[in-house]
Amino acid sequence: MSGPGLRVLVTDADYGVLDIEEQVLAAAGHELHTARCRTAAEVVDAARDADAVLVQYAPITAEVLDALPRLRLVSRYGVGVDVVDTDAARARGVWVCNVPDYGTTEVALHAVAVLLALLRNLPEHDRQVHSGRWDHRLGGRLRRPAGLTLGVVGLGRIGRATMAGAAPWFGAVVGHDPHLPDEAWPAGVERLGLAELFARSDAVTLHLPLTADTQGLVGADLLGRMPAGSYLVNTARGGLVQLDAVLQALEDGRLAGVGLDVFPTEPPPAGSPLLAHPRALLTPHVAWYSDEAEVELRRKAAGNVVSWARTGRPDHVVVEGR
């Protein structure tokens, strides 16, 4: 692609001053504009003159794309592109790209940390000590991980890194990923169907994209298959898990603990029972974050636009445009 510089809009971002994006784009001769869009209508109003957009949470729907015929590229801050109607983009020849590798270490580390904190019930021990109680029995039952089975759902970059970090503590590891070919399957990990994985696993960690097929995937059926006193960790997408089913599983003892970094609605509504539940370890969608990961994310999201303008193709393609 050649010609004058592009007009690039950041529809929304939680990063404060967007100096990193501005530097990357300005060095290539492109203009950066910013907005604070939350709705499709706000995106349409803000992006009428945009050639490309960088998007964090704002919806890029079919209606948005129809209203913005000049828009040719959407670059997502992050791995998942569930805020973008990718089918609509494909039909209209709009490029969709992401940043697939900026926070792999951070998310895997966070997932393992949450999992081990649940296994050792660190949140409850911390509360007891802060309240003036000093008794190792007050934290409840603790089990030796070497006698437990870990289930990993989704074996992409993050899932495999999480497995590598957690596996040495567990007696066995099983996995589920219908898209990973047999020749790429990790050695020593038994491949199971989803229902059997939940039935066999004492702890499950989720590393899936959010799609129409995975929306609400983990509900009463799968949780009900788990051994009593199991654990669930989700650092992937909030929409994968039905929170009412999680709460019920905590109440009936099917789950001994749950660790959630992501939620269907963020932040979770005030008054949500999970916010006060003593066996729910909750973090504010922070698994991806480190100082270095944020810089890398922002540089690569803007870099997709620069590469597309220079070569006709962004660095990390999810949907091929034209």
Q: Which residue from 275, 222, 225, 208 is spatially nearest to 247, judged by alpha carbons?
A: 275
Q: Is 285 a catalytic residue?
A: yes
Strand order of the sheet with strand 31-34?
A: 31-34, 7-10, 52-55, 73-76, 95-97, 317-319
Q: For residues 52 and 32, what is the distance between their CA atoms, to the nearest angstrom?
A: 10
- Out of 30, 92, 160, 237, the active site residue is 237
- Out of 285, 296, 299, 313, the active site residue is 285
Q: Is 322 a catalytic residue?
A: no
Q: Which residue from 124, 168, 166 is spatially nearest to 257, judged by alpha carbons?
A: 124
Is residue 308 within 8 A of residue 73, CB to CB? The reply is yes
In the block, residue with structure tokens 């269907």: 264
CA atoms within 13 A on the CB side of 94: 28
In the block, residue with structure tokens 């501005």: 22
Q: Two tokens at 91?
A: 């039909």
| 158 residue type, one letter | I
| 132 residue type, one letter | G
Could you say which DSSP state residue 271 is in?
T
CA atoms within 13 A on the CB side of 261: 23
Residues with Cβ within 8 Å of 260's Cβ and at least 6 positions away in sequence, in order, are 233, 234, 238, 241, 246, 274, 280, 281, 282, 283
Q: Is 237 a catalytic residue?
A: yes
In the block, residue with structure tokens 């039905």: 242
Which SS3 state, helix, strand or coil, does residue 25 take?
A: helix
- Out of 36, 38, 143, 266, the active site residue is 266
Which active-site residues does the annotation give? 237, 266, 285
